[in-house]
Structure 1
Amino acid sequence: MEWAEAVAVLGGTPDAWPELQARYGEPHRRYHTLAHAAAVVRDSAWLAEGLGETDRAIVAVAAWTHDVVYDANPGEDERASARWARDALDLADRHQDRVENLILATIKHDAPPEDALATALLDADLAILGAPKELYAAYARGVREEYAKYPDDVWREGRIAVLEGMLARRLYRSEAARARWASAAEANLTAELTHWRGRRPDHR
């Protein structure tokens, strides 16, 4: 669902779009750009297609705004994005609360299993993990560039921990997402994990 339509369904106006575009266009971003947000909107719409119009609009607005603040500060970025959505969109309170809570759910990528809106958003946000190898590689390079403030050894150990954590759990909440992305995601994550483990100074 496009920005103007989704916001209108929820009782707001699309006036925040220029600021949203500007934020996603910040020069330090490499992966978390407007293209990423648009991909999450597209994939979450597919996963939410059985929901009603209002619910689909809530998912769309959350997808458009979930990374509107991004400074490579996990947790703080999501909380700041949720605040931005609350301050900028002027939605009806019941819808605004839901959008904000969906954005906050992306901090730990967790929500009650029966939450269909969170399932659509969270699975779509991880769709890149199951992308073809070359697209996954571009994503991994982009995220590393966004975290350029960290030296290689710190990045390596942090990335290994993230990859191990993702491989240790079920990535996708819905059957549809698992069928579409899970196999490729496991292969991509495993290949990147092998790469970073091989870069350890004590690797044999």
Structure 2
Amino acid sequence: MTVQFEDFAALTEDSPTARTEWAAVVDAWGEDHRRYHDLAHLAAVLGVAGQLAGHATDPAAVALAAWYHDVVYDPTAADNEELSAQRAQAGLRGLVPEDRLAEVVRLVRLTAGHDPADDDADGAVLCDADLAVLASPAQAYAGYASAVREEYGHLDDATFTAGRIGVLESLLALPRLYRTPTAQPWEAPARANLSAELQLLRARAAS
């Protein structure tokens, strides 16, 4: 799947303003420092969100949130989700109804913790789509983990390992990684991948 203006326009409008915004969003996702949180990740999340759209209350809001969920991505910052939400707020104003815009902004912020409420259908779809990579076959998961390490190339191994262990522990501590019925079969392979990486990193930290 590639990211096309037509897909963005179907959620907003087909206008010069929408095309300008789409181009700016694509440029942001294509920044040179990105190794995992790049256009391929955007396309993947959009694709899975589409597959899970039947579970959403507002599939269009979920899709727009996917477009913006990592539109701001600085590996040295801790507030990428908040800045991405603000970017969505500014970029989509006038292109979508205010109530949908508010839902998009809420959903983008939700990706900071990937822990939607039990009755949050839209949040469940977006978070499941964003975390779908965790249930990849082992080789693909290894490629994902390697790309994440490259994005944090400014950190030495010890610092990165400690931080990554914290991320993995937080994910494994979630009561459920996946909330939609379609995605629930991904739970076991995702936890196996996370646990294997965590075991590897703990051994590395102890050596």
TM-score by length of 1: 0.89
| Residue 188 of structure 1 pairs with residue 193 of structure 2 | yes
Matches within 5 A, 1:102-113: 102-113=107-118
Residue-pair matches, total: 197
Q: Which moved more, 1:39-48 or 1:67-76?
A: 67-76
The amino acid that maps onto 1:176 is: T
1:151–1:50 distance in 2 versus 1, CA, 3 Å:
closer
| Residue 177 of structure 1 pairs with residue 180 of structure 2 | no
Partner of 1:135: 140
C-alpha distance in 1 between matches for 2:12 and 2:136: 29
RMSD (Å) for aligned C-alpha atoms = 1.9
Tell me, yes or no, if the aligned pair for 2:65 and 2:105 is still in contact at 8 Å: yes
C-alpha distance in 1 between matches for 2:184 and 2:138: 17
Per-residue deviation, residues 114-147 of structure 1 (Å, max 9, x unmatched): 1111100001100000011121111111111111
C-alpha distance in 2 between matches for 1:51 and 1:76: 26
Seq. identity, %: 42
Where in structure 1 do 4 or more consecutive aligned residues deviate above 6 Å? Answer: none
Partner of 2:66: 63
1:68–1:185 distance in 2 versus 1, CA, 3 Å:
same
C-alpha distance in 1 between matches for 2:108 and 2:72: 11
Matches within 5 A, 1:69-108: 69-73=72-76, 75-90=78-93, 91-108=96-113
C-alpha distance in 1 between matches for 2:182 and 2:102: 27
| Residue 41 of structure 1 pairs with residue 46 of structure 2 | yes
Gaps of 5+ in 2: 1-5
